[in-house]
Structure 1
Amino acid sequence: MEWTGARYADKPTVQVQTWIDGPPERVWAVVSDVGLMPEMSDELQSVTWCDGATGPALGVRFVGASSHEALGAWSTQSQIVEFEPPRVFGWAVQDPENPTALWRFTLQPRDGGTELTQWMQMGPARSGLSLAIDRMPDKEQKIVFVRLREFENAIRGTLAQIKQRVEQA
């Protein structure tokens, strides 16, 4: 695990990686199927493709509905901004030019399997977390730290489930 940044304006990031006993093509089939992600997430509840799309491609959009005990329920629209099968799958949340978050899976062949990395960046655009920071600006670093830890734990869980799905296939 690795994370950087202490203030929201710094565009803090978190990154976690794991090794999976399976070729990148098999791992790619799971990570690029965003419809599977709610099954592997406590926060993401559902994903719906937009504009008649039925699968991932560069520029395609999808809506994710999420729920969090402290933050409530919300939906965001994301756009796929990186799509290089079977190596990179990334999306921007809300406006791709000024996202509230960026997410990316990177797959690298390694030791007869795949090194899978999931990375995310908060900001630079305002998000729901910005509202909490507005209410308690003196606690910004703690708010950002806590949310990064939540993302780190969620990513660890997602990667473990992807690993299990691929290795048991």
Structure 2
Amino acid sequence: MRLRDNPIIEVSRKLDCTPERAWELVTDITLPTSADGELFAAEWLDDADAVAVGARFVGHNRNDTLGEWSTTSVITEVEDGRRWVWSVGPEDAQPWAVWGFEVEPAREGSIVRQWARFGAGDSPLRGFIDAQPEKEARIISGRMAVWQAGMEANLDVVAAAIA
């Protein structure tokens, strides 16, 4: 596995709620902060208060290996009620990662999907790989496992908010 291939990870879950309710939940940037994952705080920037193209927010993260860090994200795509996508990293450079939530109607509920794709930007992850190129696949695989666990936890929180 190579970073230059922009690997992607995705999780999905069928939920017992309307697509409108699912959308309301997945567009709350603070909801994942209560999940078991790296993100522990998030807030809107520049007087933004809702998902909209161009809106920015900051996420504060931590884990035992990497410590604490913050990232700025900008929303790059919105299909109201269906999909929103944000880019992580400096706005004037290639993204470090691109993340998204999608909602689609399903029989007796909704399907919610969260996904993330590694970006080509000059991220801290790229620095780790450049320092140990022989471990590139292992480094990426490790981050993908962390991201997947976090996404599963996010969908657990969404499901719990419905119940």
Deviates further, 79-88 or 11-20: 79-88
Q: 1:161 aligns with which of 142, 157, 160?
A: 157
Q: Which residue of 2 aligns with 1:10?
A: 5
Q: Give the gaps of 5 or more residues in structure 2.
A: none
Q: Match of 1:119, SS?
A: strand
2:34/2:157 contact within 8 Å kept:
no
- What amino acid is the match of 1:81? T
Deviates further, 23-32 or 65-74: 65-74
Q: Which residue of 1 aligns with 2:88?
A: 93
Q: After TM superposition, where is structure 1 displaced by more than 4 Å over at least 4 residues in a row? A: none
2:76/2:85 contact within 8 Å kept:
yes
Q: Which residue of 1 aligns with 2:55?
A: 60
- What amino acid is the match of 2:97? A
- What amino acid is the match of 2:150? A
> RMSD across aligned C-alpha pairs, in angstroms?
1.3
Q: Which residue of 2 aligns with 1:84?
A: 79
Q: Match of 1:98, SS?
A: coil
Q: Which residue of 2 aligns with 1:108?
A: 104
Q: Distance in 1 between matches of 2:108 and 2:90?
A: 38
Q: Match of 1:154, SS?
A: helix
Q: Identity over aligned residues, as a percent?
A: 33
1:71/1:128 contact within 8 Å kept:
no
Q: 1:134 aligns with which of 130, 133, 156?
A: 130
Q: Match of 1:70, SS?
A: coil
Q: Distance in 1 between matches of 2:34 and 2:72?
A: 19
Q: Distance in 1 between matches of 2:24 and 2:125?
A: 31
2:32/2:157 contact within 8 Å kept:
no
CA deviation digits over 1:21-61, x for unaligned, max 9?
Answer: 00111011110010222112421121121111122211100
Q: Distance in 1 between matches of 2:130 and 2:63?
A: 19
Query: Do residues 23 (structure 1) and 42 (structure 2) align?
Result: no
Q: Distance in 2 between matches of 1:117 and 1:20?
A: 11
- What amino acid is the match of 1:132? F
Q: Which residue of 2 aligns with 1:144?
A: 140
Q: Which residue of 2 aligns with 1:3?
A: none
